[in-house]
Amino acid sequence: MKRVLSGIQPSGQLHIGNYFGMMKTMIANMESSDLFVFIVDLHALTTVHDRERLRQGTLEAAADFIALGLDPDRCTFWVQSDVPEVCELMWVLSTLTPMGLLERCHSYKDKVAKGISPSHGLFAYPVLMAADILLYQADVVPVGKDQKQHLEVARDIAIKFNNTYGETFVVPEPAISTETAIVPGLDGQKMSKSYGNTIPIFLDDKPLRKKVMSIQTDATPVEDPKDPDKCNLFALLKLFAPEDKLKEVHDLYVNGGAAYGYIKQDLFELIRDHFADARARKKELLANQDYLREVLAKGANKAREKATVTLELVRDRIGLRY
């Protein structure tokens, strides 16, 4: 059985880009894989410097996953920082990672261009991501298109380590859904907390509708034909609408008659209904935070069992056992 691993940052409210880009896939993998899912709070420190926001965000991310259908008893589900072995492995991998490899990573440049402080942690983010993956000997890592380069870095580091010290790490493979590789945000860019263009999964009706109504569209008159493939509103509708509804709207785009306001109202109702049960479940979970902490502690113990085996092998390989 293949080991599938991925994580998500608790740096803000999880949004529909997170859901379709990673969470939905990971939850589906419970049936057919050895599933490892974690909340990457150490990564979040590159952008979140508010103690309460990070603490609460971690618990909310746990509640989000469980509310959406993740069963902690059928996978390994934990918080990144609860397995300190990952930090030691990151340092070991850092000593082999060429600077040029990190300098070529476009995500760092993109985030700095968006106003995120250019810290060493942000620059070295791909090495910590590599440690996350290699520590648990993951076979497959579902990633968004924007994270594909970071997974390639993890593969390069694993191969270099194996060539230097002998076969130690599984070289992971990416799993990228071409349909949901990039979910557009309110402005048409990739939906991202860093860009402030998200539609959070668990908003109540009024703020959810306000978000959907703020999706940017062009000024083409209702009666004129439009290209649905160039419209971020239609791209979002495709994620939720049943086939018959999607065909109806597609025909309105192509032939004329697509009124953005009505389509946005339809999208709002589809999103609201899609997550209705999960929204109620999340409220129940957040009312019992001790349960969430118990689940995460149990998951961390399971994760450390695997992590310590890998790290002991690494220490032996590089000569830290004498």
Catalytic residues: 111, 190, 193
Question: How buried is 181 (Cβ within 10 angstroms: 0-12 exposed, 13-18 middle, 19+ buried)?
Answer: middle
Cα-flanking dihedrals φ and ψ of residue 25, to 5°? Answer: -65, -45
CB 158 within 8 A of CB 169: yes
Residue 174 three-state SS: strand
Please state, in angstroms and rounded to a whole number, the distance separating the CA atoms of residues 292 and 223.
51
CB 146 within 8 A of CB 182: yes
DSSP characters for 119-131?
-HHHHTHHHHHHH
Positive/negative CA dihedral, 257, 258, 263, 265: negative
Give the pair of three-digit tokens for residue 127: 């090495």
Residue 193 three-state SS: helix
With tokens 């590789």, the residue in question is 181
